[in-house]
Structure formats: C-alpha cells, structure tokens
C-alpha cells in the first residue's frame, strides 16, 4: 500500500491537479464523501499556501496503513520564508496574503491529523492525514 | 483565455460553474460578471455550483465578492445547488458565505431572485404587456 505520488506546486493550476489527484486517492481508499470533501478542501488551502506564501514547492501524497486502518497523507513542502509565529498563523482571520486567513486553522479542523514544521528562513512542511473510519 | 459562460435570461444572468476552477479563472469570472451586470442591466445573478465538488476559502471569497459587487450595482445574487458535503465542509472551514443568498436548485433560485427584486410572475407579464 506504499503508493507515493509527488506533485509540483509552482502555479495556481498545480493546485487544481493536487485537488484532483488527492480526490482520486481518497475515493480509492474508500473515504466517505464528506471526509473526501473535507480532505480535498484542506489540501486546496495548503496547496495554495505553498504556491503563494512558500514561493512554490511540492505535495507528496501517500496511502498509509496503521494496522487495519487505511489512510491518506499529503505533505506540503516549500523552501520559502517560513512562518515566524505559528500559533498566530493558525488562528482564523490571520492573513498576510490578502486571503481570509482560514487556511491553516481550517485545514487542521478538516483533517484527522495535522502537523507543521517551520522556522523563519527555513521553509515550511505541513502534513495532513485522514484515516478511513471503521 | 479560459472563460466560464455567462447566459442572459430576461433580466437575470445565469452562470453554471462546470470546471474545477483555478484561482485566476475565478478572478476572470468575477470581472466578467460585474461587467455583464452593467452592460446587460441585469437585476439578478444566479450561480449554479452543483457541479463543484469543493468550495475552498478562495472560491468562497469569490462568491461573496460577486454578491457584494452585484449588490452595489443594484443586482441580487443567489447561489444554488451546493452539495451537502460542500456545505458541511464550508462550515467547519469557518466560512459562512456572508451576504450570499442560497437556494437548493435553479427553480427556487429564480423564484428567490424574482421576489428579491419585487417582480413576481404576474409583474413580469405585466411589464411585457
């Protein structure tokens, strides 16, 4: 079950491709429609962040297994400026990009697991995971 | 350049979003739609999003922007056909689409537009007479 796909995130059009590939895999592992929709939406928010704030990067998609449970994980990585105040960036309404500032906090709410590694000048890596229920 | 077709139906404009929009395409739609509201003297805009399987914060903001701009141009906006899973996701994302009227389908959306601009079926006929 070690399917891994790495996708470039250089331009807005790449975010559309990431959404479609994530959807295909979410369907394949049998996520419910609501979980698919939440996960693809979270991936869209984070993919856009990678393009706009991170100056481009990649999305790595994996189908993962934990005992009997199957899940999908997408890791967004960029070598951009990083985030100085992660706690603040996670709050709704915080934005530096002219958006609504719902991206990070929203992505966390929409997924089973969310992790972020970032430091000023050292890029950002965010991983989101959705496990299949039951 | 890519476009999303805008149809005119009487005094209303009809947009059916059929593609997975990238951000630039969403911006083009926003500009073309406001342009058409003025050019066609439209009083209402109906946006059918039943083919969209996600609405993220960018597309949500675009829909709110269109509704806000249309209102300033004296036109009402109704968004129709949102999938239930999209509605659930939007609320958890924290997006409540402020200022947007919604209806379940195109028929109800048209009825809402007509009543919003004070034009029911009879009034419509009367005006043509």
Interchain contact, A19 vs B24, CB within 8 Å: no
The domain that contains B17 carries what CATH number?
A: 3.30.750.24
> What is the total count of domains within chain A?
1
Reduced DSSP (H G I as helix, E B as strand, rest coil) percent helix, strand, coil of chain A, to 5: 35, 30, 35
Q: What is the domain range of residue B20?
A: 6-128
Summarised one tens digit per residue, pLDDT across range B96-127 is 888 899 999 999 999 999 998 887 654 444 44
Order of strands, sheet of B12-16, starting from the edge strand that comes earlier in the sequence: B6-9, B12-16, B44-48, B76-80, B101-103
d(CA A112, CA A28): 18
Confidence bin at A85 (pLDDT 50/70/90): confident
Summarised one tens digit per residue, pLDDT across range B66-88 is 999 999 999 999 999 999 999 99
B36 lies in some domain: yes
pLDDT given at position A89:
86
Provide the mean pLDDT of chain B: 89
> What is the total count of domains within chain B?
1
B1 lies in some domain: no
pLDDT given at position B123:
46
Q: What is the domain range of residue A11?
A: 4-131
Query: Choosing among B27, B56, B87, which should be mutated to test the A contact, i.e. which has the most A CBs within 10 A?
Result: B56
Question: What percent of chain A shows pLDDT beyond 90?
Answer: 76
Please give the average per-residue pLDDT across B35-57, as a whole number: 95
A33 lies within 8 A of chain B by CB: yes
pLDDT given at position A61:
98
Interchain contact, B56 vs A20, CB within 8 Å: no
Q: What are phi and psi of B60, to 5 degrees?
A: -60, -45
pLDDT given at position B129:
38
Summarised one tens digit per residue, pLDDT across range A14-71 is 999 999 999 999 999 999 999 999 999 999 999 999 999 999 999 999 999 999 899 9
DSSP A79-102: -SS--S-HHHHTSTT--SSSS-S-
Nearest to A99 among B57, B85, B88 (CB): B57
A110 lies within 8 A of chain B by CB: yes
Confidence bin at A102 (pLDDT 50/70/90): low
The domain that contains A38 carries what CATH number?
A: 3.30.565.10
Confidence bin at A107 (pLDDT 50/70/90): very high
More confident position, A96 or A70: A70
B109 lies in some domain: yes
pLDDT given at position B120:
60
Confidence bin at A8 (pLDDT 50/70/90): very high
B48 lies in some domain: yes
């Amino acid at each position: 079950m070690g399917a891994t796909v790495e996708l470039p995130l250089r331009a807005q059009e790449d975010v559309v491709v990431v959404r479609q590939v994530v959807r295909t895999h979410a369907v394949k592992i049998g996520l419910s429609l609501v979980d698919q929709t939440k996960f693809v939406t979270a991936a869209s928010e984070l993919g856009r962040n990678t393009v706009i704030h991170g100056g481009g990067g990649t999305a790595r998609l994996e189908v993962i297994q934990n005992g009997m449970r199957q899940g999908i994980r997408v890791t967004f990585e960029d070598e951009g400026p990083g985030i100085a105040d992660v706690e603040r960036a996670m709050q709704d309404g915080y934005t530096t990009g002219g958006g609504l500032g719902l991206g990070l906090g929203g992505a966390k709410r929409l997924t089973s697991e969310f992790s972020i590694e970032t430091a000023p000048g050292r890029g950002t890596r965010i991983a989101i995971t959705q496990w299949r229920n039951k | 350049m890519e476009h999303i077709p805008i149809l005119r139906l009487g005094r209303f404009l009809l947009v059916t979003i059929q593609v997975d929009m990238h951000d630039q395409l969403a911006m083009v739609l926003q500009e073309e739609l406001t342009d058409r509201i003025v050019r066609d003297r439209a009083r209402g805009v109906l946006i059918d999003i039943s083919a969209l399987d996600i609405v993220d914060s960018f597309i949500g903001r675009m829909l709110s922007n269109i509704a806000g701009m249309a209102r300033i141009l004296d036109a009402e906006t109704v968004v129709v056909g949102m999938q239930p899973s999209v509605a659930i996701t939007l609320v958890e994302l924290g997006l409540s689409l402020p200022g947007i009227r919604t209806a379940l389908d195109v028929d109800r959306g048209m009825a809402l537009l007509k009543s919003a601009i004070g034009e029911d079926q009879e009034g419509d006929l009367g005006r043509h007479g």
